[in-house]
Amino acid sequence: MTALRERALVLLDSTPSLPRHVRIQFDPVRQAYAVLSPERVFWPDEISLDILRRCDGRTSVGAMIADLTAEYDAPEDEVAGDIMTFLQEWADRLLVRP
């Protein structure tokens, strides 16, 4: 019974998406973007928001890395490491579907 599902790993060619129970939304009261999930509300910083917004089920992790490397004008391997770690953490909490 236990083997119904498996832990999903984030790879360069994964195209992550947000599951139905996770939603990004602008909060007019606090003038900030909130991530809503079953028990918790997250307040992502700028880079987390940039990653989460690209979780549209079409953009690959590789493309996100290239994109954000250019946007933040930062070393690519650093950006790649940050993005992979972030996405794997969120995937492990079932907040992102790799």
Q: Binding to other proteins (CB under 8 A): which residues in 78-97?
A: 91-94
DSSP run (H or E) holding 90: helix 76-92
Tokens of 44: 């992502």
The owner of tokens 């907040």 is: 95
Helix axis angle for 61-72 and 46-53, nearest 10°, is: 140
How many residues bind other proteins (CB under 8 A)? The answer is 24
CA dihedral 12, 18, 36, 6 (to 10 degrees): -80
Q: How far is the CB of 73 from other proteins (least distance, A)?
A: 33
Which listed range, 17-25, 60-68, 69-77, 79-87, lies at the site for other proteins (CB under 8 A)? 17-25
Q: Binding to other proteins (CB under 8 A): which residues in 28-47?
A: 29-30, 34, 36, 38-39, 41
Name the residues that contact other proteins, by CB under 8 A: 1-2, 4-8, 19-21, 23, 25, 27, 29-30, 34, 36, 38-39, 41, 91-94
